[in-house]
Structure 1
């Protein structure tokens, strides 16, 4: 089969189109023909950082975590899927797991689910990593009817899914964005847009919560922005973050009694820990999609397999809206 292989870590030019062996089914796994995959920030981190990142695969490697495709072979012990099923998931591209930047992929059956029927392969490939991340964070924080939820970065990958799911769970949702295009997307997905370039945290907390703060803050920006999340959260509120690789003064979180939820959705893949939970979440997401309550946004620029470097550059530019997708 053809695959985009990297033989060294580095810039967007490291990908090479090569012929490699097609994977064979093994117990508990399926082989699938990949239709599409999407680029996540962690894919770029692996490509750039290599061995400095503990989850990076050994070289040569095939990256790409998310996928949508059709099962071509079913391994021993797999009863929930059959040949011909259209599925999606996040099941490779790190550690010893071959990724989705190839014509075929081997996937643990616990890490996949039947693809939502109402969306395309490209849209389905955009959903797994960000969908699981958003779902896990919101459910851990116990988001429910009547709460006010703030999503930082609502036009990005995780953010645009998190704000739709928060709506689905019954919350009143607000989201920050940095320009007219981002705010337009946020509003179209059902949240009240906040321009963080113009409005201070104090100002929008006063305007939308009467100064009380948001019950839940989903911070998909992370880093130093977590201090803004602490400031925006209500007393005894919940803060969810996907980017917490930093040293931070937690004094404000302490005095407000905040609960902090760090979401690192790669744990089941890396440690073979409760992988079936991911399959269950993907099944739940597919149901919500087919109810018309969740729609992954695909960036206007879609790339082919031999344009993976350009796809990485597009995501790295910060200009993409929603998810950057590669068709195989």
Structure 2
């Protein structure tokens, strides 16, 4: 099969076309012909940092975590999937799991689900990692009807999905962004936009929650921004962070009695613990998509086999609007 391989790591590392043996469907797995794969921030981190990240594959490496495609073979012990099924998932591209920048991926059947019927392969490939991350963060925080939710980074890959899921769960949603385009996108998703470059935390807390604070703050920005999330949350509220790799003073969280939920959705893939949970969430997300409650935003730029490096650069440079997808 054809694959795009990294033979070195680093910001300028090139994806090189390579012929590799066709994989086979091992027990508990399905062999999927990949139609599309999306680029996530963690993919760019692996490419840039290599061995400095404990989840990086050994070289030569086939990256790509998300994918959508068609089942072409089914391994022993697999039920629920047959040849010809259109599926999607997040099942490779780290540690010893070969990724989806290839013609085929041998995917653990617990990590995939049937593709939403209402989404194209391109759209479906954009959803798994960000969708699972958003769903885990919101449900672990107990989001429900009548609550107020703030999504930090509501126009981003995880954030725009979190906005839609929180609204489906019955919450009144606000979301931060910057610039007219992001404000329009957030408003179009049904959330109240907050321009964090011009509005202070105390001002939008007063405007959107009458000064009480948000029941849940979903922070897809992380880092130093977590201080803003602590400030925006109500007493005994919840903060869910997808980017908690930072040294930070937890004193404000202590005096508010906040619950902090750190979401790292790659744990089941890395440690082979609870993988079926991801398949279950993907089925829920597919139902939401087919019911019209969830639709991933895909960047308008199209990338193929020869454009993988450009796709990574497009995401890294911050020019992308929605998820960056490579069609194979």
Q: Please report the TM-score for the alignment, with normalisation by the length of structure 1.
A: 0.99
Q: Secondary structure at the match of 2:93?
A: coil
Which sections of structure 1, spanning at least 5 residues, go unmatched?
none
Instruction: Please say if 1:38 is aligned against 2:38.
Output: yes
* Structure 1 moving runs of 4+ over 2 Å: none
Partner of 2:157: 157
Partner of 1:172: 172
Partner of 2:144: 144
- For each residue in 1:18-72, what CA deviation from the matched residue of structure 2 results, as whole angstroms up to 9, or x when unmatched? 1111111110001010000000000000000000000000000100000000000
Which sections of structure 2, spanning at least 5 residues, go unmatched?
none
Partner of 1:192: 192
**Superposition map of 1:140-289 within 5 A:** 140-289=140-289
Asked whether the equivalents of residues 12 and 313 of structure 1 are also in contact (C-alpha less than 8 Å), the reply is: no
Instruction: Please say if 1:57 is aligned against 2:57.
Output: yes
Q: Distance in 1 between matches of 2:308 and 2:191?
A: 32
Instruction: Please say if 1:327 is aligned against 2:327.
Output: yes
Asked whether the equivalents of residues 13 and 47 of structure 2 are also in contact (C-alpha less than 8 Å), the reply is: no
- For each residue in 1:272-296, what CA deviation from the matched residue of structure 2 results, as whole angstroms up to 9, or x when unmatched? 0010000000000000000000000
Q: Secondary structure at the match of 1:101?
A: coil
- For each residue in 1:143-163, what CA deviation from the matched residue of structure 2 results, as whole angstroms up to 9, or x when unmatched? 000000000001100000000
Partner of 1:109: 109
Q: Distance in 1 between matches of 2:294 and 2:177?
A: 19
Q: Please report the TM-score for the alignment, with normalisation by the length of structure 2.
A: 0.99
Q: Distance in 1 between matches of 2:155 and 2:299?
A: 11
Q: Distance in 1 between matches of 2:186 and 2:281?
A: 24
Q: Secondary structure at the match of 1:303?
A: coil
Q: Secondary structure at the match of 1:183?
A: helix
Could you say what the CA RMSD is over the residues aligned between the two structures, in angstroms? 0.6
Q: Distance in 1 between matches of 2:130 and 2:171?
A: 19
Q: Distance in 2 between matches of 1:138 and 1:58?
A: 33
Instruction: Kindly state the Cα deviation for residue 13 of structure 1 after the two structures are TM-superposed.
Output: 4.3
Q: Secondary structure at the match of 2:155?
A: coil
Asked whether the equivalents of residues 4 and 306 of structure 1 are also in contact (C-alpha less than 8 Å), the reply is: no
Q: Distance in 2 between matches of 1:204 and 1:162?
A: 19
Instruction: Kindly state the Cα deviation for residue 12 of structure 1 after the two structures are TM-superposed.
Output: 4.4
Asked whether the equivalents of residues 239 and 261 of structure 2 are also in contact (C-alpha less than 8 Å), the reply is: yes
Q: Secondary structure at the match of 2:105?
A: strand
Partner of 1:300: 300
Q: Distance in 1 between matches of 2:200 and 2:301?
A: 33
Asked whether the equivalents of residues 31 and 72 of structure 1 are also in contact (C-alpha less than 8 Å), the reply is: yes
Q: Distance in 1 between matches of 2:302 and 2:270?
A: 29
Instruction: Please say if 1:317 is aligned against 2:322.
Output: no
Instruction: Kindly state the Cα deviation for residue 11 of structure 1 after the two structures are TM-superposed.
Output: 2.2
Asked whether the equivalents of residues 6 and 13 of structure 2 are also in contact (C-alpha less than 8 Å), the reply is: no
Aligned length: 328
